[in-house]
Amino acid sequence: MILPAPPLAQFAWLVHGFSTRRGGVSSFDSLPPSGDGGDLNLGQVPGDPAKNVRENRRRLVAWLGAKNMQLILQRQIHSDLIRVLDGAGFPAPSPHGSGRPPARSSRMGSPAGDALITDRPGLLLAVLVADCLPILLVDAKQRIVAAVHCGWRGTARRLAGKAVGRMRLLFGSRPEDLWAAIGPGIGSCCYAVGPEVVEEFTSQFSYADDTLLVTRTRPLSPLELKRNIMIHPLRSNFGLRVKKETYLDLPRANFQQLRDAGVRARQIYSASLCTSCHPELFFSHRRDAGHTGRMMGLVGIRKDR
Residue 98: the pLDDT is 36
Distance CA 92, CA 83 (A): 7
The pLDDT of 91-105, averaged and rounded, is: 41
The pLDDT tens digits of the residues spanning 196-227 come to 999 999 999 999 988 899 887 767 666 655 56
**Percent of the chain whose predicted confidence (pLDDT) is above 70:** 82
The pLDDT tens digits of the residues spanning 107-155 come to 346 799 999 999 999 999 999 999 999 999 999 999 999 999 999 999 9
What is the model's pTM? 0.86
Residue 36: the pLDDT is 62
> What are the structural domains of the chain?
2-188+249-301 (3.60.140.10), 193-246 (no CATH)
Residue 227: the pLDDT is 62
